[in-house]
Structures are given as structure tokens and as C-alpha cells.
Structure 1
Amino acid sequence: MKAVLGIDAAWTAHNPSGLALATQYRGKWSLHSVWPSYADFLDAPMHSAADLPDRAAKLCGRFPDLVAVDMPLSDLPITGRRTADRAVSRAYGGRAAATHSPSALRPGPIADRMRQELGSRGYGLRHSGRPDGRLAEVYPHPALIELLQAPRRLPYKIQRAGNYWPGLPPSVRRAKLRVEWARILDALENLLPGTRDALAMPPADASIALLKSFEDQLDAVICAAVAVEIVEGRATAYGDATAAVWIPTPRPCTDASSVSLQSG
């Protein structure tokens, strides 16, 4: 048996973070469950990220082999764009999937605390200097490009619907978002069976808050899917010996026997 935990981590303390737990049994991966916040996952307020592995083990019977987090992480203080950010942007910027720019404030101390607290439990950050680390930074936008073999970034973010389709009314934008979400759910169901049972599509008239919660959980499942790719040796690291963003290796070129590194 193996297990991975995916986290769509908020960059600020007041926003929720989605979590997804996937397990492998008899060689087959599936989604165990998904949660809209740390409190829901832990069934209690989160005092430390060090509590997360214990909760995962209680839920599925095994400590995660890997924790994959959608948030900039580094063994050095983050003060601006890193080698990892530049490498991902160089590879995927032309497909509208460049990285956001981190800073000392966002995610700043939140990222440092998560790395330190998980590190205290044996989850060191994974990069070229620690290729067997059990904590990996991931990024859903380029991950979806590779997992779905898409030509460019998928338009699935509720808060950017107006940018995707500026000339359309809100109801039509929502309908288009639902098409993208269904496409992503179908792909994730193939990668992690049980996804559709664990994460139901919200109703068309759902509140913005409910739609955003669904999106956070969807991103968490994407993080878990990337974690599986890493564990199975089907991922590429973009970065250096202090930080790296792990992205599924393009399917036509996948070599499960090796994991390559792209540096900036």
C-alpha cells in the first residue's frame, strides 16, 4: 500500500485550503477522500502542519509517502522569484501557465512554517539536492496541461471567468466553467478512481463561496494526482538544489524509470 496527500494551500491565513488523500492498493491508485479545509480534514483546528501525517495515517492506515503542496516552498527564505519559478515560466509561459510571483509576505511565513513543521516529521523538501524528499511543491496549471495533454492552460478558475469570456453574461460563463470542470473531473477519475464520488459538481446556481470551495478541492485532487506521478517516477522537477516545482512529464516522452531536472 502507498498513500499521498495533496494540498491546495492558501497563501493567506484567512482563506481555506483544500486537501485530498489518495491511496494505492494492490497496484491500483484511487482517491480516498477530499476535504474543503484543514479543520475538516483534521476534524479539529489545525495547530501545526506536523499534525497532517498522523491524521492521514488514521484515515487510511498509512503515513503519506509524499505530501504535494500547491504553494511556493524553499529551503531558503523566499523574497521573490526563484530559479524554480523562472524555469516553469520559461517552459510553460507560452501556454499561459507561468508561475505567480512569490514574496516575503505571500506566502512568506505560511510557506516557511509548513515546510518546517512537515520537515520535523521527516517530510523534507524534494529537489535536486534532496531527490528523495517527501514534501513536493506542485502547480496545477501546467500539471493539467500534461495530464490532459492540453495545448494550453485550462480556463477553470471561477474568479477569472470574466477574463476568460469577457463578452458573455455570468450564466454563460458558469456554464462554460462547468464544462471545464467536468473535463477535469473525467481525467482525474481515470487517474484516481473515486474522484467523482468524492467530489460532486456543485449545482449551477451555487454561491460563489461554494464554487470556490469546489475549486479548492479540485485543485487538491490535482495535487494528489501529481503526487502519484512523482511517486511513480513520471514527473519532472523544475528548479535547483533549494526549491523545485514538480510537473508530470509529458505523456509521449514519459520514462517511468527516471526523473529529470530542469534548472533555471
Structure 2
Amino acid sequence: MAETGQLPDDRPTGQTPNVPLLLNAAERIAGTPIDLVAIDMPLSMLPITGRREADNAVSRAYGARKCSTHTPSPARPGKISDDLYANFGRAGYVLQVQAPVLRGLVEVYPHPALVELMGAAERLPYKAGKVRSYWRNLTPAERKVQLLAQWAAISAALNTVLAGSIDATLRTDENSTGTQLKSCEDVLDAIVCAWVGTTILSGKARPFGDEKAAIWIPTTPAG
């Protein structure tokens, strides 16, 4: 991200996560040692070969609210998940699947977390790549307006439970490119993960899963 906070004009290139560098950067930004790492990706103590009990448990609890999980596979998330689990473990952040949690690595799924945060009846329409399916009868410009309004509402709600969320959200408008919109969406998801992490540490989140993998979701609406 540019120091000016402006959205990038070009699609960023990915790279293999460097766990020590990530932890050092996070500690430098936060000004304090990192207790908990929250990741929006399937994680497990065993190689992921298909649906886990964590996926089934969340789907049972939140499927009626359109927050069922996708089915993971050896290809997706694949090696990146195995590497993150192993490398964070070597850095002292062991995958946590039971409460209470004081330190470690956790898996977060933003959709049900946002349902709890917003007190919503179902999954929120906030994914930039799905605006056409959300608002089929609107023009592209009208869909973008709806998306930005949804993001504003989410940012405001996040700001009530994690001060500074609005300021941390990348600014977009009706002229923003698709890449810029995806960057903003990624920031929102990251803030959701951070908020869920605070609920886990304060004992206000529940693990859905078993002794090998768990997805953590806040237990009570914000308020």
C-alpha cells in the first residue's frame, strides 16, 4: 500500500507470505507484541482434503442465513494454508480450536461474523465481484452506488467495536476501478478479522469445528 493511502492503479502481485516479516510489520504498526493472528482462510492441523467438521458446523448454524462455507480442497487453499499453519506454529502461534484463547492462530469467516455484527437476517451483499448477482436490475453505476453504501454501513458498524475502522478503510467512489474496489473489500475483511480476534480474546466468540480445525464466530451481536 502506498504511503499516501491512495488506492493502487495496478493490480498488485502476490508472493509467498513471510511470517516473521508479517509479525514484525504488525508489531511495528500496533506498537505492541502480537497475541493473536486471525486469517480468513481454511486452516487445519491436518492436510485439508475436503470438507471439515468446521465447514459443516458453520453451514448447519448459518446456512439458513446464506452463510454456508465453500468446500476446501487440496488445491484450494492448498499449500499456502499448510505453510501458514506450519510457519506461524514455528513462530509460536499455534492453531487454536478451543476456548479460552490467549495467544495463537485462528481461522475467521467474515460472512457470519458480519451477520452477527450487523444483526442481519442473512449474508451481506458486500463482495465487489458479485454486484451483478446482488442487483441484477440495476445499471453498473447504480450497482457501484449500492456497494459503496453497503461498505459505508459496515465501516460504521465496525467503528463502534474497533475504533479507527472508518479511518483505516481505503476511500473509494463511483469512479474507482475494479482493482481499487477489491482493495477496499480486502481492507474491510481484514478489519473484520481483527475485530473477531478481539472477541476471541475476550471470550465472546465460539469455535465451530473439532480438535483439528475450527472457525471462530462472535457469539453476540455488537452493542
> What is the TM-score with the length of structure 2 in the denominator?
0.89
Match of 1:97 in 2: 67
Q: 2:149 aligns with which of 179, 201, 213?
A: 179
1:60, distance to aligned residue in structure 2 (A):
2.6
Runs of 4+ aligned structure 1 residues displaced above 6 Å come to 34-37
Distance 1:250 1:36, change over 3 A: farther
Q: Is 1:158 matched up with 2:123?
A: no
Distance 1:36 1:142, change over 3 A: farther
Mapped to 1, the partners of 2:212 and 2:98 lie a distance apart of 8
CA contact (8 A) 2:170 2:183 kept: no
1:197, distance to aligned residue in structure 2 (A):
1.5
Distance 1:128 1:60, change over 3 A: closer
Q: How much is the aligned-residue C-alpha RMSD, in angstroms? A: 2.4
1:50, distance to aligned residue in structure 2 (A):
3.1
- Residue type at the aligned position of 1:61: G
Q: Which runs of 5+ in 1 are unaligned?
A: 1-17, 19-33, 38-44, 255-264
Match of 1:107 in 2: 77
- Which structure shows the bigger proportion of residues in helix conformation? 2
1:131, distance to aligned residue in structure 2 (A):
5.1
> What is the TM-score with the length of structure 1 in the denominator?
0.76
Number of aligned residue pairs: 214
Mapped to 1, the partners of 2:42 and 2:6 lie a distance apart of 21
Match of 2:11 in 1: none
1:35, distance to aligned residue in structure 2 (A):
11
Q: Which runs of 5+ in 2 are unaligned?
A: 9-14
Match of 2:186 in 1: 216
1:168, distance to aligned residue in structure 2 (A):
1.4
1:149, distance to aligned residue in structure 2 (A):
1.0
1:247, distance to aligned residue in structure 2 (A):
0.3
Mapped to 1, the partners of 2:17 and 2:190 lie a distance apart of 20
Q: Is 1:78 matched up with 2:44?
A: no
Percent sequence identity over matched residues? 45
Map residues 1-264 of structure 1 onto 2, 5 A cutoff.
Answer: 48-128=18-98, 134-251=104-221
1:36, distance to aligned residue in structure 2 (A):
8.7
- Residue type at the aligned position of 2:118: L
- State which drifts further: 194-203 or 72-81: 194-203
1:132, distance to aligned residue in structure 2 (A):
5.0
Mapped to 2, the partners of 1:239 and 1:47 lie a distance apart of 26
- Residue type at the aligned position of 1:170: P
